[in-house]
Amino acid sequence: MHTVQTFWKKEWRISWQTAVITVGLLSFISFLTTLQVHINGSPHPFATDVGEIQNALPRWGTIHYNGYPLYTFIGSIFVTVLRLIGISPAMGASLYSAMWGTISTLLLILLMKSLGIHPLPAALTALMYALSTSIWVDASIAEVHTMSMVLSFITLYYAVQFGRFGQKRDLYWLAFWGGMVLAHQRAFALFLPVILFWAWPHWRLILRKFFPVLGLGLIGPLTYLYLPLRAWMGADWTYSSPGTWQGFWALVFYTRSDLVIVPDTAALWLERIQGIATLLSNDWPWILMVLGIVGLLLPGSPARPQERLGLFVTCLLHLPVSFIVWEGRVSDALLAVKLPIIAISAIGLALLLEVLWQKRPLWGKLAVVCSLAIVVWLFFSNRPLVLAVTQDDSTVATITLAEQIPPTTADGRPQTLMALWGHDYWALEYAQAYEGKFPDLTLVDHDNDFADIIQTDHLLTLSKTFYLRPVAWWEDILGPISLTSVAPEIVEIQVKPQVIDASQPVSTESIQTVSLHSRQSVSPKHALFDLGNGIAIQNAELVWVDEDTLHLTIAWQAMQDNLSDYSIAVHLVAQDPPTGPQDILTQADRNHPVYGWYPTSLWQAGEVVTDHFLLDVPADGKPMAVRVGMYQALADGSFENSEWLSLPVP
C-alpha cells in the first residue's frame, strides 16, 4: 500500500529528450510493422495514387496534380540511395513516407512545446496522432500527406514563435516554410487566417521587411521548375505535359476546385455529415476529438488565448471543407483534408492534460494513465485496417496474367499491351521495370494512338478493360474490329481477323490434350469437330497449370456467315457423359466467346477465334473429362445445345 501511495505522490516528469526519442522510435517502429513492401494493389481511397508514386520516384519522374515537385525530388534521391543497398523501389517509397510520418510526429511535439505544454502530455498525444488510422496508413504507403504534415507543423511552429516574440528571424523562417507548404499543399490556405491573426501584433515589422518576406515566400513556388526540367531531360515518367507552358501552368495553378461541390439538398448534407463522421471515427473515437476541442477552449492552459482560439477556428474551417470536398465517393482528397483535424485535436488533448495536471494533479495522473491505455488500444484497434490497405497484393493477379502472354508471335510482330491508367498499368510498369517481368512486351496506357500501334503491333488488352472501354469505344478509333484471346483474360484487338477458307479440310492433327509433366499428346487426335450450328472447333488443348487448375484453349472456326448468337458451355465432369448435375465438378460457361465480349453473330465465314478457360479442380473431385459445346436460348425459354466435344483429363 505504501508503494502504491508513493507511486501516485511521486512527481511524474520526463525530459524533452526522453519524450522525443521514445515517441520517434515507437512511431517509426509502428509504421515499419505495416509498411507496404510491394507494388500497391489496394483499391482503397487511401491508396489511390500509390502505384503512380512507386513508379515515379525511382525514375526521377513527376506525378499528378499539383505535381508536388519538392516531394518527388527528395523522394527520388531517397529511393535511389536505398536501391543501392538492395531495397526495392516500392519498399523505399514506403520508407520515405514512414520517415516523414515520424518527423511529423516529432514536429508536433515541438509545436506543443512552443505552446508551453510539458513533455509527458505532448508525447502521449503525439503518439495518439501517429496511431490514428489516416496518419498510420499514409506513413506506411507511398503518399505525399506525411510530408504535407511536416511542412504544416514547422510553419505553425514559426507562426507561434513569431506571434509570441516578434523576432525577425522567426518571421523569415515563417515566410520560407509558409511558401513551401502552400506550394506543396494548397489546402494549407485554411491556416492563413490564424497565422495572420497571430502575427498581427507585429504588423509594423512585417511591413518593414515586406520584400525579404515576399522573396523568401516565393522560393516554394520556384520548386515547380523541377517539373519542366525533368520533362526537358527526357524523364520517362511525367504526368500531363510539364514541358509545355500550358501544361506547366496547369500544374502550378491547379487547385482541385472541381472537387468542391456544395450539397443542394438536406438529404445530401446529411449523407456527407454521416460520411465525415464515419471517417473521423475511423481515425479516433469521437470522445477524443470532443475532448480535444474542449482542451482548445479551456482557460488556464499555457497556450495564449489567441493561439487556442486560432487553432479552434482552423479546426472549424476544415470541417465544412471536408463536407464539400466530394467526387461522388469517399476520395483521397477528402481523406487528406481532414488530417489537420486530428492534429489540432491532439494539441487540444495535450492542453487538457496540462490543465488537469496543473489544477488537479491526481486527475491529471489518472488522465495520463488513461492516455497511455488509449495509445495501446489505438495500436491494436487501427492496425488491422492499416494492414488491409498495405498488404493488399491484388495486382499480382494482373501481373500473372501478363506473364502468360506468349513472348513471340507466329508472324514475328511485336506485342503491345494496353492497360488503363491506374492500378493495373502501374503494376505492370513496375513489374516490367523493377522485377524483370515480360521484357518483350510493350506497355501503354489508354491515352495512345492505337490506330498507329495496330499497324505494326499485335494490340492486346485485359478483358476487364472492356467494362470501361467497350467495343464501341475501340470502333470509334479503329473502325470495325474483331476479338480473339491470346492468353487467359488477355484479348487481342484486330482490324483484320484471322480468316481461312472454311471449305478446305483441316488437318486431323488438330485437336489434342497435353499432360502437365510430359507436355506430350496423351489422347487420340481428332479431325475438325463440327458443333452442328455453323461453328466448328478447329483446335483444343487441355493442360494442367498446377495440381488444382486446368487450362483449356479452344480455337473456334465459323463455317458460315450470319450466325446466331451462341453461348459457351465448358464443364469439368466426373462422368462422361454426365448422368446429372452431381457429375459436373466445375463450369466455365460464358454468354459470348472471348470473355463475353465477341458475340458469334459478328463472326464472318472462315474466321478463327481463340478462347481460354481456367477450370478449378475440386480437391476431392475425380475429373474424367472436359466437355465443350455451345447453346442458345429459344423463344419458349428452352435451350438448344450443339454437339459436345469431350477431352479426357490428362
Position 492 in a domain? no
The average confidence (pLDDT) of the chain is 89
Q: Are residues 247 and 380 in the same domain?
A: yes
Contact 564, 632 (CB under 8 A): yes
pLDDT at residue 382 is higher than 70 = yes
Q: What is the mean pLDDT of residues 231-249?
A: 91
Q: How far apart are CA 75 and CA 80, in angstroms?
A: 8
Position 7 in a domain? no
Position 183 in a domain? yes
Where helices occur in 34-144 by DSSP H, the ranges are 50-56, 69-83, 89-114, 119-130, 133-138
Q: What is the mean pLDDT of residues 625-646?
A: 89
The answer to whether the Cα torsion of 219, 225, 229, 235 is positive or negative is: positive
**Residue 594 one-letter amino acid:** V
Contact 375, 383 (CB under 8 A): no
In degrees and rounded to multiples of 5, residue 608 shows phi and psi of: -110, 125
The DSSP letter of residue 519 is -
606: alpha, beta or left, given left = phi > 0 and alpha = psi -120 to 50? left
Pairing mode of beta strands 529-530, 535-546: antiparallel
Q: Are residues 198 and 326 in the same domain?
A: yes
Q: What is the mean pLDDT of residues 613-618?
A: 93
Contacts of 514 (CB under 8 A, 6+ apart): 520, 521, 522, 541, 542, 543, 650
Q: What is the pLDDT of residue 512?
A: 45
Q: What is the mean pLDDT of residues 474-491?
A: 96
Q: Are residues 263 and 222 in the same domain?
A: yes
Q: Are residues 44 and 137 in the same domain?
A: yes
Give the least confident one: 150-154, 323-327, 569-573: 323-327
**Number of domains composing the chain:** 3
Q: How far apart are CA 149 and CA 155, in angstroms?
A: 10
List C-alpha distances in Å: 376 to 10, 126, 357, 455, 557: 23, 13, 21, 61, 65
pLDDT band at residue 275, thresholds of 50, 70 and 90?
Answer: confident
**Residue 227 one-letter amino acid:** L
Where is the domain boundary, 334, 351, 385?
A: 385
| CA nearest neighbour of 639 among 591, 576, 604, 606 | 591
Q: Tell me if residue 72 falls in helix, strand or coil.
A: helix
61: alpha, beta or left, given left = phi > 0 and alpha = psi -120 to 50? beta
Give the least confident one: 316-320, 391-395, 492-496: 316-320
Q: How far apart are CA 369 and CA 363, in angstroms?
A: 10
Q: Which grid coordinates are listed for 123?
A: 508525447
Q: How far apart are CA 553 and CA 220, in angstroms?
A: 58
Q: Which residue has the cell 470502333?
A: 475
Rg (CA), the chain: 32
| CA nearest neighbour of 197 among 306, 348, 316 | 306
Q: Are residues 461 and 514 in the same domain?
A: no
Q: Which grid coordinates are listed for 443?
A: 506497355
Q: How far apart are CA 129 and CA 340, in angstroms?
A: 10
Q: What is the pLDDT of residue 510?
A: 42
Taking only the tens place, the pLDDT of each residue in 423-469 is 999 999 999 999 999 999 999 999 999 999 999 999 999 999 999 99
Q: How far apart are CA 140 and CA 382, in angstroms?
A: 13
Enclosing domain of residue 77: 15-385
Q: What is the mean pLDDT of residues 605-620?
A: 93
Position 465 in a domain? yes
562: alpha, beta or left, given left = phi > 0 and alpha = psi -120 to 50? left
Q: What is the pLDDT of residue 264?
A: 73
Q: Are residues 453 and 584 in the same domain?
A: no
Q: Are residues 373 and 410 in the same domain?
A: no
pLDDT band at residue 274, thresholds of 50, 70 and 90?
Answer: confident
Contact 87, 78 (CB under 8 A): no
Where is the domain boundary, 324, 354, 385?
A: 385
Q: Are residues 309 and 441 in the same domain?
A: no
Q: Are residues 337 and 274 in the same domain?
A: yes
Q: How far apart are CA 241 and CA 281, in angstroms?
A: 39
Question: How many CA atoms lie less than 13 Å away from 648 in the CB half-sphere?
Answer: 10
List C-alpha distances in Å: 313 to 262, 269, 306: 21, 21, 10
**Residue 587 one-letter amino acid:** Q
Position 257 in a domain? yes
Residues in the chain: 650
Q: What is the pLDDT of residue 504?
A: 52
Taking only the tens place, the pLDDT of each residue in 554-565 is 999 999 999 999
Where is the domain boundary, 385, 408, 427?
A: 385
User: Which of 270-284, 306-320, 591-605 has the highest mean predicted lDDT (pLDDT)?
Assistant: 591-605
Q: How far apart are CA 437 and CA 428, in angstroms?
A: 8
Instruction: Name the burial class of residue 638, with classes exposed (0-12), middle (13-18) and buried (19+) by CB atoms within 10 angstroms of its CB.
Output: exposed
The secondary element (H helix, E strand) that includes residue 356 is helix 339-359
Where helices occur in 131-244 by DSSP H, the ranges are 133-138, 145-165, 168-184, 192-199, 203-208, 210-217, 219-222, 226-232
pLDDT at residue 246 is higher than 70 = yes
Cα 370 to chain centroid distance, Å, stands at: 35
Is the model more confident about 637 or about 618?
A: 618
**Residue 517 one-letter amino acid:** H
pLDDT band at residue 325, thresholds of 50, 70 and 90?
Answer: low
* DSSP character string of 446-491: SSS-HHHHHHHSEEEEETTHHHHS-HHHHHHHHSS-EEEEEETTEE
- Residue 363 has a CB neighbour count (10 Å cut-off) of 13
**Residue 624 one-letter amino acid:** M
Contact 282, 91 (CB under 8 A): no
Position 9 in a domain? no
Q: How far apart are CA 633 and CA 641, in angstroms?
A: 9
376: alpha, beta or left, given left = phi > 0 and alpha = psi -120 to 50? alpha
Taking only the tens place, the pLDDT of each residue in 46-94 is 999 999 999 999 999 999 988 899 999 999 999 999 999 999 999 999 9
Q: Are residues 360 and 429 in the same domain?
A: no
Position 607 in a domain? yes
Q: Which grid coordinates are listed for 119?
A: 513533455
Instruction: Name the burial class of residue 369, with classes exposed (0-12), middle (13-18) and buried (19+) by CB atoms within 10 angstroms of its CB.
Output: exposed
Q: Which grid coordinates are listed for 491?
A: 484479348
The secondary element (H helix, E strand) that includes residue 528 is none
Q: How far apart are CA 35 and CA 298, in angstroms?
A: 38
Beta strands in 283-428 (DSSP E): 415-418
pLDDT band at residue 329, thresholds of 50, 70 and 90?
Answer: low
Cα 170 to chain centroid distance, Å, stands at: 39
Q: What is the pLDDT of residue 260?
A: 65
Contact 460, 417 (CB under 8 A): yes
Q: Which residue has the cell 521587411?
A: 209
Position 1 in a domain? no
pLDDT at residue 524 is higher than 80 = no
Q: Which grid coordinates are listed for 169?
A: 528571424
Q: Are residues 239 and 295 in the same domain?
A: yes
Instruction: Name the burial class of residue 557, with classes exposed (0-12), middle (13-18) and buried (19+) by CB atoms within 10 angstroms of its CB.
Output: buried
Q: What is the pLDDT of residue 327?
A: 62
Q: Which residue has the cell 494548397?
A: 186
Across the beta sheet with 415-418, the strand order is 441-444, 415-418, 458-462, 490-494, 482-487
Q: Are residues 144 and 268 in the same domain?
A: yes
| CA nearest neighbour of 443 among 480, 399, 479, 478 | 399
